[in-house]
């Protein structure tokens, strides 16, 4: 008849207790060593894993708390708060068509000085010197160069038409000589012609409709250098001569 229950253990012998005592003592000593001296087997300054040491973590936390040397330096000594974010600085899209600017006429309605009626003026007029360099207001491609008055017996004058993309075009004239040709790409501020006379008109169109060029330029106004100088005081009037003495009587 077979047994189905768990096997019975024999009587515990004295040799078993004697042989197990050293093993129990060894395990207890190892546990005590690990609990009391967890770094006893490590060298000073070394780490068995990739975790940073205590002094390294303290240095990193101090650096995060105080900031880097550039952050502690404060704002730029030049006074520009955007000196550290130069790529975010807005670049001007357009520039003036002349080096020295003196506005002589504005876009919009005006009263005709001869007839006294209202008339609509497109574009702005600049006072200029003859043969002054005319500049491209923005990156563009020269569309065409058209004569203003072909039947004039005087020096021929032209008007330049530049395409700036997205339906924006600029028209500048009169010019006496052109430095570009149709189809040539130009960059902002490049010399494209020579002024023909004492005035230069700039028109800007968007999809063929005239707009105020000042809305597209958005540039500070620089006056002529001669107008920036303070005029000297007028000379003092000479003292009046004393009245002449009357002639003696008779």
Structural domains of the chain in order of their starting residue, each with its CATH number: 103-219 (2.70.70.10)
- Dist CA 166 CA 74 (whole Å): 42
Q: Parallel, antiparallel, or unpaired for β 199-206 and 209-211?
A: antiparallel
Q: Which residues contact 150 (CB under 8 A, 6 or more apart)?
A: 156
Question: pLDDT digit of tens for each residue in the chain (250 aa)?
Answer: 455 555 555 555 555 544 444 445 555 555 555 555 545 445 554 555 555 555 555 545 554 444 444 444 444 556 666 556 555 445 667 889 998 888 888 888 888 878 888 888 899 999 999 999 999 999 999 999 999 877 665 788 999 999 999 899 999 999 999 999 999 999 999 999 999 989 999 999 999 999 999 888 876 655 444 444 555 666 777 777 777 778 777 6
Is-above-0.85 flag for pTM?
no
Residues 6+ apart with CB under 8 A from 201: 105, 123, 124, 125, 126, 172, 173, 174
């Amino acid at each position: 008849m077979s047994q189905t229950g768990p096997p019975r253990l024999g009587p515990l012998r004295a040799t078993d207790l004697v042989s197990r005592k050293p093993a129990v003592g060894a395990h207890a000593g190892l546990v005590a060593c690990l609990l009391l001296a967890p770094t006893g087997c490590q060298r000073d300054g070394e780490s068995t894993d990739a975790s940073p040491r205590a002094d390294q973590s303290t240095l990193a936390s101090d650096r995060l708390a105080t900031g880097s040397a550039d952050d502690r330096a404060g704002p730029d000594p030049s006074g520009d708060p955007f000196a550290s974010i130069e790529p975010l600085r807005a670049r001007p899209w357009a520039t003036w068509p002349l080096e020295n600017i003196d506005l002589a006429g504005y876009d919009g309605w005006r009263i005709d000085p001869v007839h006294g009626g209202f008339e609509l003026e497109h574009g702005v007029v600049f006072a200029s010197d003859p043969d002054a360099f005319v500049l491209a207001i923005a990156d563009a491609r020269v569309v065409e160069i058209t004569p203003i008055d072909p039947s004039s017996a005087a020096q021929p004058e032209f008007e330049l038409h530049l395409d700036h993309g997205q339906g924006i075009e600029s028209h500048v004239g009169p010019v006496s000589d052109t430095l570009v040709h149709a189809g040539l790409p130009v960059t902002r501020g490049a010399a494209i012609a020579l002024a023909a006379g004492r005035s230069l008109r700039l028109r800007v169109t968007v999809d063929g409709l005239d707009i105020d060029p000042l809305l597209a330029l958005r540039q500070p106004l620089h006056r002529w250098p001669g107008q920036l100088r303070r005029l000297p005081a007028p000379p003092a009037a000479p003292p009046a001569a004393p009245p002449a003495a009357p002639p003696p009587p008779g």
